[in-house]
Structure 1
Amino acid sequence: MKKSLIALAVLAASGAAMAQSSVTMFGIVDVGVGHVSATNSVSGVTQSGNSSSRLGFRGVEDLGGGLKAGFWLEGAISPDTGTGAGANNAGPGFAFSRRSTVSLAGNFGEVRLGRELAAGYDKPAISYDPFGQVGLAALQGWTTVRVSNGVSYRTPANLGGFFATAHYGFGEQAGNNTAGRYFGLAGGYENGPLSVTLAADQVKAGVVNNGYSSVTLANDLKTWSLGASYDLGVVKPAFVYHSEKTGSVKNNIYMLALTAPVGPGNLIGSYARYDLKDSNNDSNALAIGYVYNLSKRTAVYGTYAHMNNKNAAARNLNGVSGSFNSNVTVGAGENVDGYQVGIRHAF
Structure 2
Amino acid sequence: MKKSLIALAVLAASGAAMAQSSVTLFGIVDANVGYVNHSGAANKSVYGIGTSGNATSRLGFRGTEDLGGGLKAGFWLEGELVNDAGNPAGFNFLRESTVRLSGNFGEVRVGRELTPTYRPFVKYDLFGQVGIGRNESLLRNWGGSTTADASAVRQSNIISYYSPNMSGFTGGLGYGFDEKATGKEGRYVGVYGAYDNGPLSAALGFERRNVNAAGATDQDKMTLGASYDLKVVKLVGLVQQTKLKTGSVSNKYNAYALGVTAPVGAGEVKAQYAMYDQKAIDSKAHHLSLGYVHNLSKRTALYGTVAYMKNKDASALGLNALGVTAGGPGAGNNQTGMQLGIRHAF
CA contact (8 A) 2:309 2:336 kept: yes
Give the residue type in structure 2 aligned to 1:37: N
Deviation readout 1:34-58 (Å, 9 max, x if unpaired): 1101231111111000000000011
Letter in 1 for 2:116: A
Residues of 1 paired with 2:12 and 2:295: CA distance?
Answer: 45
Gaps of 5+ in 2: 139-150
| 1:170 and 1:177 in contact (8 A); partners too | no
> Shift in Å at residue 281 of structure 1?
1.4
SS in 1 for 2:217: coil
In structure 1, how many angstroms separate the alpha carbons of the residues matched to 2:259 and 2:102? Answer: 34
In structure 2, how many angstroms separate the alpha carbons of the residues matched to 1:63 and 1:177? 40
Deviation of the 1:3 alpha carbon: 11
Gaps of 5+ in 1: 84-90, 208-215
Report what 1:243 is aligned to: 241
User: In structure 2, what is the Cα distance between the partners aligned to 1:322 and 1:218?
Assistant: 33
CA distance in 2, matches of 1:217, 1:329: 29
1:178 deviation in Å? Answer: 2.6
> Does 2:136 match 1:140?
yes
Aligned to 2:257: 255
Q: Distance in 1 between matches of 2:306 and 2:203?
A: 28
The answer as to 2:104 corresponding to 1:100 is: no
Instruction: Give the 5 Å matches for 1:183-202.
Output: 183-202=189-208
Partner of 1:20: 20
Pairs within 5 Å for 1:1-347: 12-38=12-38, 39-83=43-87, 92-124=89-121, 126-142=122-138, 143-157=151-165, 159-173=166-180, 175-176=181-182, 178-206=184-212, 219-247=217-245, 248-277=250-279, 279-318=281-320, 321-325=321-325, 327-328=326-327, 330-347=329-346
Matched residue count? 326
Deviation above 6 Å: which 4+ runs of structure 1? 1-8
Provide the C-alpha distance between the structure 2 equivalents of 1:299 and 1:205, rounded to a whole number of angstroms: 39
Deviation at 1:177, TM superposition (A): 6.2
- Cα distance between partner residues in 2 of 1:123 and 1:185: 11
Q: How far does residue 332 in structure 1 lie from its aligned partner after superposition? A: 2.0
Partner secondary structure for residue 324 of structure 1 = coil
Residue number in structure 2 paired with 1:211 = none
Q: How far, CA to CA, are the matches of 2:182 and 2:15 in structure 1?
A: 48
Structure 1 residue matching 2:13: 3-state secondary structure: helix
- Is 2:317–2:328's contact at 8 Å kept on the other side of the alignment? no
| C-alpha contact 1:222 1:244 (8 A) present in aligned 2 | yes
Offset, 1:304 = 0.3
Structure-1 residue corresponding to 2:147:
none
Q: CA–CA distance in 2 between the matches of 1:151 and 1:68?
A: 17
Alpha-carbon displacement from aligned partner over 1:322-345 (angstroms, at most 9, x marks no partner):
2321x2451321111000100000
Contact 2:95 2:113 (C-alpha < 8 Å) held by counterparts: yes
Contact 1:272 1:285 in 2 (8 A): yes
Alpha-carbon separation, structure 1, partners of 2:212 and 2:86: 32
Change over 3 Å in CA distance of 1:266–1:304 after alignment to 2: same
Shift of 1:132: 0.3
How far residue 12 of structure 1 moved from its aligned partner, in angstroms, is: 4.6
Preserved contact between residue 49 and residue 323 of structure 2 (Cα < 8 Å) = no
Alpha-carbon displacement from aligned partner over 1:102-159 (angstroms, at most 9, x marks no partner): 11111111111111101111112x11101000001111123211011111111112x1
> In 1, Cα distance between the equivalents of 2:161 and 2:183?
22
Q: Is the 8 A contact 1:36 1:328 kept in 2?
A: no
Distance in 2 (alpha carbons) for counterparts of 1:217 and 1:230: 40
Which secondary structure does the structure 2 equivalent of 1:331 belong to? Answer: coil
Whole-angstrom distance in 1 between the partners of 2:178 and 2:335: 37
Give a deviation string over 1:226-261, Cα, whole Å, max 9, x none. 000000000000000111111222100100011110
Mapped to 1, the partners of 2:298 and 2:5 lie a distance apart of 48
Question: Conserved in 1, the CA contact under 8 Å of 2:183 and 2:215?
Answer: no
Question: What's the TM-score, normalizing by structure 1?
Answer: 0.89
**What TM-score, normalized to structure 2?**
0.89
Q: Alpha-carbon deviation of 1:171? A: 1.0
RMSD: 2.2
Percent of counterpart pairs with the same letter? 54
> Structure 1 residues 310 and 217, CA, compared in 2 at 3 Å: closer, same or farther?
farther
How big is each residue's C-alpha offset from its partner over 1:15-46, in whole Å with a ceiling of 9 and x where there is no partner?
42222111111000000011101231111111
Equivalent-residue separation in structure 2 for 1:293 and 1:329 (angstroms): 31
Whole-angstrom CA distance in 1 between matches of 2:280 and 2:178? 31
Question: More displaced, 132-141 or 278-287?
Answer: 278-287
Q: Give yes or no for contact 1:48–1:135 (8 Å, CA) kept in 2.
A: yes
